[in-house]
Amino acid sequence: MPERIRVVKDDITTLHVDVIVNAANESLLGGGGVDGAIHRAAGPELLAECRTLGGCETGEAKITQGYRLPARHIIHTVGPVWHGGAHGEDQQLASCYQRSLKLAENHGLRTIAFPAISTGIYGFPRERAAQIAVREIQSFLSDHELPETVTLVAFSDDDRTILQRALDG
Ligand code: AR6
């Protein structure tokens, strides 16, 4: 269903979608990478709401308001730290996509944007992560009407190529 999934190169904090996904850590209290960018752009009210959530386990997801972002909501998910691939990393990353999409559906959200979860500070190999992302999103969309469209957000030209190649199969 290529018409429901697209790849863009952009700063995810600028996107006008119903919900953006944050690649967070288990504390949900902010960090570097896309997490830092989202907290900076959303403003301090985001950290205040995150403090009420009690953290988040790896592979799970929690939702907040978007505050000063153009996006109405943020889904915070915690990807796995890469430890070589034999420690359940693939399943945990797949779970991030599944749980985030389910949460978006439960909230009636139509448009969602994902960063390349775990592929920065957490060190997950980018091609492998892109294949998991595309596979899980296609699987979810094939039997759910919501979300209607999913944007895969690359932060570099290389990442855009990797994501587009995974999408094109
Ligand atoms: N828009 C889109 N993508 C971005 C942006 C942005 N503004 N900034 C970075 N990326 P990372 P992780 C890309 O490291 O690997 C944090 O400290 C980046 O190029 O943000 O899941 C958390 O608190 C990469 O492709 O997340 C955790 O401790 C992708 O986003 C830890 O990092 C993910 O890179 C999570 O590590």
Task: Please list every protein residue whose CB sits less than 6 Å from any atom of ligand 1.
Answer: 11-13, 23-25, 31-35, 37, 79, 115-122, 153, 155, 159
Q: Amino acid identity, residue 87?
A: H
* Stated pTM of the model: 0.98
Between CA 16 and CA 23, with CA 17 as vertex, the angle to 5 degrees is: 105
Measured from the Cβ of residue 5, the count of other Cβ atoms closer than 10 Å reads 17
Question: Has residue 2 got a pLDDT over 80?
Answer: no
Type and span of the H or E element at 61: strand 61-65
Read off the pLDDT of residues 21-52 as tens digits, 9 standing for 90 and up: 999 999 999 999 999 999 999 999 999 999 99
Closest C-alpha to 75, from 108, 114, 127, 41 = 114
Specify the ligand 1 atom closest to the Cα of 37.
7
The pLDDT tens digits of the residues spanning 99-136 come to 999 999 999 999 999 999 999 999 999 999 999 999 99
Of all atoms in ligand 1, which is nearest to the CA of residue 156?
19
Residue (of 135, 137, 117) closest to 126 by Cα position:
117
In the chain, DSSP finds a helix count (H) and a strand count (E) of 5, 6
User: For residue 73, what are the β-bridge partners?
Assistant: 19, 65
Single out the residue of 125, 132, 126 nearest to residue 159, CA to CA. Answer: 126
* Ligand 1 centre distance from Cα of residue 139 (Å): 24
At 29 the pLDDT is: 98
> Using one digit for the tens of pLDDT, what is the confidence trace for 55-97?
999 999 999 999 999 999 999 999 999 999 999 999 999 999 9
User: Could you count the other beta carbons within 10 Å of the beta carbon of residue 34?
Assistant: 23
